[in-house]
Amino acid sequence: MPGVIVVGAQWGDEGKGKIIDILTTEAKHIVRAQGGNNAGHTIIIGQEEYKLHLTPSGILHPHTQCYIGAGTVIDPEVLILEMNKLESRGIDLTGRLWISPAAHIIFPFHRKLDLLLEQRKGLRAVGTTGRGIGPCYADKANRLGIRMAEMLNPELFPKLLETVLKLKNEELTKLYNSEPLSYEEICSEYTRYAQYLNPHIASVEEIIDNAVVAGENVLFEGAQGTFLDTTTGTYPYVTSSNTVAGGICTGAGIGPSRITHTLGVIKAYTTRVGLGPLPSEVEEGEEFLDHQAAREFGTTTRRKRRIGWFDAVLAKTAAKLNGLDSLALTKLDILDQVETIKLCVAYDICGERVSRLPYLAEDLQKTKPIYEEMPGWKTTTTSMSTFEELPIEAQNYLKRIETLTEVPISIISVGPERDQTIVLNNPFAVEELAR
């Protein structure tokens, strides 16, 4: 029963979209389990670039069945626009895209409250995307949320919306001195969304479990990254869902015993979007890559990503939190022309050498990275297709990462295209390729 989880092992933007796209050739079922349209995957196929925010990346492969699980929060307008855009580019979604009835729905009041609350958070401001993700998950926890199944019920939905909107309008007007939202407009708009999405609703959890039991390959795609997890991440600079492997199981409605391999995706260096600690961040003027050439802008926000050297403390922690079986390392080619490469192997916290993440983000902000230096390879790797072809310096760099994280590397990406990938060990295969 081959079930493979792909999870980000840093702060998101690790290149999961490409890795998922590569593995999808082996999988029949692709599941998106958590998060919303605050996350994004970029896939490049030839001259075509696809940016997906809610639809599973596997949708670009016609042989797949794709699912949006119960752990997600869905903005119907965004999803429908994404579906229409895919269909306009020749991607057939008929009988291929399925949504769990248990997924929660994002409403206009979620988006509005997201921005209003961020303005008042002070020290707790985290640079929200403003897409209503946090308020929607908060309503889920407060048992105020409206789920897909309820939006599809023409008798129940208007009553639920009336109750919830009354509370939200009180919050908007009395707490934030903002204008109330129209019940009639929202009810009419979301009734139309329900009619459009209704043919795509299915018992996702049951279908996935049956597929795993039948021995069909199932790929679970994580959104964002380990250290944005609301529980284990660099709190409060986190997202509102559980992004680690355990959270993906919950969001997909699948038991952890169904998973046969957990693959962590890491960049050959470290990036982060927005606020929050980044211990190995390079100083201004010392950046070792060109943002435009390296495509280091957020898929969803288009914000410039902050850059740091590879952080082995972070990666090893991610390996433990997720129970990683192997790593997929991306963007090795971005380091092709770097003279000397640094790896953060420990932290200096108030004069003490530590190899763990502190619990307080404030303490992590104060850490000083302890680096090892390795020679760069000053050779273009983008056309190399085997581990043996890579320069010895690149091989040594990869081996050092394996040693520091205590996890083997199974996939190496040396460019954005599908064929710029070195697969050492296929997570869906039993045998390991020699190297």
CATH of the domain at 144: 1.10.300.10
Q: How confident is the model at residue 431 (pLDDT cuts 50, 70, 90)?
A: very low
Same domain for 128 and 209, yes or no, is no
More confident residue, 184 or 276: 184
Question: Are 319 and 417 within one domain?
Answer: yes
Q: Specify if 93 maps to a domain.
A: no
Which of 27-41, 129-143, 299-313, 374-388 is predicted least confidently?
299-313
CATH code of the domain covering residue 277: 3.90.170.10
More confident residue, 58 or 7: 7
> Of 171, 199, 227, which closes a domain?
199
**Average pLDDT score over residue span 389-418:** 97
Q: Is 85 domain-assigned?
A: no
Query: Which of the listed residues 172, 199, 226 is the one where a domain comes to its end?
Result: 199
- Which of 165, 199, 233 corresponds to the end of one domain? 199
Amino acid at position 414, single letter: V
**Within-domain flag for 171:** yes
Instruction: Tell me whether residue 82 is in a domain.
Output: no
Task: Please write the tens of the pLDDT for every residue from 189-247.
Answer: 999 999 999 999 999 999 999 999 999 999 999 989 999 999 999 999 999 999 999 99
Q: pLDDT tens-digit profile of 374-385?
A: 999 999 999 999
pLDDT of residue 301: 61
Q: What is the mean pLDDT of residues 305-321?
A: 95
Same domain, 352 and 405: yes
pLDDT-derived band at 298, boundaries 50, 70, 90: low
Does one domain contain both 191 and 221?
no
Q: Report how many domains make up the chain.
A: 2
* Residue 326 sits in the same domain as residue 411: yes
Joined tokens for residue 333: 């080619």
Q: Is the same domain home to 42 and 184?
A: no
3-class DSSP state of 132:
coil
Which of the two residues, 284 and 307, has the higher pLDDT score?
307
Residue numbers annotated as active site: 13, 41
Report yes or no on 314 lying in a domain. yes
With cut-offs at 50, 70 and 90, classify the pLDDT of residue 435: very low
In this structure, the answer to whether residues 247 and 333 fall within a common structural domain is yes
One domain for residues 216 and 179: no
* Domain presence at residue 351: yes
Give mean pLDDT, residues 147-168: 98
Same domain, 122 and 194: yes
- Check residues 199 and 21 and name the one with the higher pLDDT: 199
27 pLDDT exceeds 60?
yes
In a domain, 58, yes or no: yes
Q: What is the pLDDT of residue 50?
A: 83
Q: How far is CA 288 from CA 268, 282, 313, 330, 341, in A?
A: 12, 8, 21, 16, 9
Note the pLDDT of residue 44. Answer: 77
Question: The domain containing residue 237 runs over which residues?
Answer: 4-73+204-423
Q: Is residue 97 part of a domain?
A: no
Q: How would you label 390-404 residue by residue, b for 16+ Cβ within 10 Å and e otherwise?
A: bbebbeebbebbeeb
Q: What is the pLDDT of residue 362?
A: 82
SS3 45: strand
Residues 211 and 156 in one domain: no
* 108 dihedral zone (left: phi>0; alpha: psi -120 to 50; beta): alpha
Enumerate residues 6+ apart whose C-beta is below 8 A from 100.
Answer: 67, 68, 69, 70, 72, 148, 201, 202, 203, 204, 205, 253
57 or 321, higher pLDDT: 321
Please report the pLDDT score of residue 329 as a whole number: 98
250 and 331 together in one domain = yes
Residues 250 and 388 in one domain: yes
- Phi first, then psi: what are they for 220, rounded to 5°? -105, 115
Q: What percent of the chain has pLDDT over 90?
A: 76
The pLDDT mean for the chain works out to 91
